[in-house]
Amino acid sequence: MNDSMNNVNKKTYMLPGDERIVAGDAKEFVHELRTGSWMDSDCTDEQYMCNFAERYVIEAGVRIATDTPEHFLSDLIRTGYAKEI
């Protein structure tokens, strides 16, 4: 399967600063968000969600779920941090 076929079921998300993440599911979104992070790129995806949520509540005053990647992404969309395009 070529790369263009791999992107068929993926969604693109716009983040602050015109950053984009292309992911097929919430788990891949979290992984891509973490590996692109200059702060927590060396931790696990689960640790990253918790670290991100701690920073986000301080910066934005909003709590983000960290129990599953699906809830994490859903909350980022709900709060306006991520937007599906």
**Residue range 53-81: mean pLDDT, rounded:** 97
CA distance 48 to 40: 6
Place 7 in a pLDDT band, splitting at 50, 70 and 90: low
Print the domain residue range for 51.
3-84
Question: For residue 6, what pLDDT band results from cuts at 50, 70 and 90?
Answer: low
- Check residue 40 and give its pLDDT: 84
Phi/psi of residue 22, each to 5°? Answer: -110, 125
Per the model's pLDDT, the better-predicted residue between 5 and 67 turns out to be: 67
pLDDT for the residue numbered 9: 87
